[in-house]
Amino acid sequence: MKKNNSKNIIPSEDIPGLEISARPRRNRKSETIRKLVKETYLEPGDFIYPVFIHDGNSDEEITSMPGCKRFSIRGLVNEVKRSLKLGVSAFVLFPAIKDSYKTPLCEESYNSKGLVQRALRELKNSCPDATLITDIALDPYNSEGHDGIVSPSGEILNDFTVDVLCKQALSHAHAGADVVSPSDMMDGRIGAIREILDEEGFTSVSIMSYTAKYASSLYGPFRGALDSAPKAGDKKTYQMDPANSREALRELMLDEEEGADIVMVKPASHYLDMVYLFKDNTDLPVAAYQVSGEYLMIKAASNSGWLDEDKIILESLLSIKRAGADMIITYFAPRAAELLKKQY
Ligand code: PBG
In this predicted structure, what is the pLDDT of residue 290? Answer: 98
Question: pTM of this prediction?
Answer: 0.94
Averaged pLDDT for residues 336-343: 94
> Is it the case that residue 77 has pLDDT exceeding 90?
yes
- Asked, for residue 31, whether it belongs to a domain, the answer is no
Averaged pLDDT for residues 56-60: 96
The response to whether residue 216 sits with its C-beta less than 6 Å from ligand 1 reads no
Nearest CA to ligand 1 atom 6: 183
Q: Give Cβ neighbours of residue 6 (< 8 Å, ≥ 6 apart).
A: none
Exposed/middle/buried for 7, CB within 10 Å: 0-12, 13-18, 19+? exposed
Cβ 123 vs Cβ 79: under 8 Å: no
pLDDT band at 32 (very low <50, low <70, confident <90, very high): very high
> Is it the case that residue 21 has pLDDT exceeding 90?
no
Question: Which tops the pLDDT comparison, 308 or 11?
Answer: 308
Q: What is the 130 CA–ligand 1 centroid distance (Å)?
A: 22
Q: Which atom of ligand 1 is nearest to 220's Cα? A: 14
Averaged pLDDT for residues 217-244: 93
The response to whether residue 137 sits with its C-beta less than 6 Å from ligand 1 reads yes
The response to whether residue 183 sits with its C-beta less than 6 Å from ligand 1 reads yes
Q: What is the 231 CA–ligand 1 centroid distance (Å)?
A: 15
In this predicted structure, what is the pLDDT of residue 291? Answer: 98
In this predicted structure, what is the pLDDT of residue 18? Answer: 72
Q: Annotate 95-111 with three-state secondary structure.
A: EECCHHHCECCCHHHHC
Question: How many other β-carbons are positioned within 10 Å of the β-carbon of residue 19?
Answer: 5
In this predicted structure, what is the pLDDT of residue 82? Answer: 98
In this predicted structure, what is the pLDDT of residue 7? Answer: 63
In this predicted structure, what is the pLDDT of residue 19? Answer: 79
| Exposure b/e, 39-60, CB count within 10 A at least 16 = b | eeebebebbbbbbbbbbeeebb
Alpha helices in the chain (DSSP H): 31-37, 73-86, 115-126, 158-175, 189-199, 220-226, 246-258, 272-281, 292-303, 309-323, 333-343
- Asked, for residue 80, whether it belongs to a domain, the answer is yes
> Is it the case that residue 96 has pLDDT exceeding 90?
yes
In this predicted structure, what is the pLDDT of residue 15? Answer: 65
- CA atoms of 257 and 191, how far apart (whole Å): 8
CA 340 centroid distance within chain: 19
Give the HSE-up count for residue 136: Cα atoms under 13 Å, Cβ half-sphere. Answer: 34
- Asked, for residue 9, whether it belongs to a domain, the answer is no
> Is it the case that residue 222 has pLDDT exceeding 70?
yes
Averaged pLDDT for residues 77-86: 98
Which residue of 219, 291, 332 sits with most ligand 1 atoms within 8 Å of its CB, as the best mutation to test the pocket? 219
Q: Which atom of ligand 1 is nearest to 219's Cα? A: 14
Chain segment 135-174, per-residue pLDDT in tens:
999 999 999 999 999 999 999 999 999 999 999 999 999 9
Q: Helix or strand or coil: residue 268?
A: coil
> Is it the case that residue 103 has pLDDT exceeding 60?
yes
Q: Which domain holds residue 254?
A: 40-343
Chain segment 184-218, per-residue pLDDT in tens:
999 999 999 999 999 999 999 999 999 999 999 99
- CA atoms of 43 and 177, how far apart (whole Å): 24
The response to whether residue 135 sits with its C-beta less than 6 Å from ligand 1 reads yes
The response to whether residue 288 sits with its C-beta less than 6 Å from ligand 1 reads no
Nearest CA to ligand 1 atom 8: 219
In this predicted structure, what is the pLDDT of residue 224? Answer: 87
The response to whether residue 331 sits with its C-beta less than 6 Å from ligand 1 reads no
- Asked, for residue 16, whether it belongs to a domain, the answer is no
- Asked, for residue 271, whether it belongs to a domain, the answer is yes
Cβ 74 vs Cβ 237: under 8 Å: no
CA-wise closest residue to 98 among 53, 130, 48, 135: 53
Q: What is the 328 CA–ligand 1 centroid distance (Å)?
A: 15
- CA atoms of 305 and 146, how far apart (whole Å): 37
- Asked, for residue 284, whether it belongs to a domain, the answer is yes
Q: Annotate 35-81 with three-state secondary structure.
A: HHHCCCCCCHHHEEEEEEEECCCCCEECCCCCCCEEECHHHHHHHHH
pLDDT over 90, % of the chain: 90
Averaged pLDDT for residues 95-108: 97
Which residue of 97, 139, 214 sits with most ligand 1 atoms within 8 Å of its CB, as the best mutation to test the pocket? 139
- CA atoms of 178 and 176, how far apart (whole Å): 6
pLDDT band at 16 (very low <50, low <70, confident <90, very high): low
CATH number at residue 193: 3.20.20.70
Q: Which atom of ligand 1 is nearest to 293's Cα? A: 14
In this predicted structure, what is the pLDDT of residue 58? Answer: 97
- Asked, for residue 25, whether it belongs to a domain, the answer is no
Which residue of 147, 164, 294 sits with most ligand 1 atoms within 8 Å of its CB, as the best mutation to test the pocket? 147
What's the domain count of the chain? 1
- Asked, for residue 184, whether it belongs to a domain, the answer is yes
Active centre residues (catalytic) = 213, 266
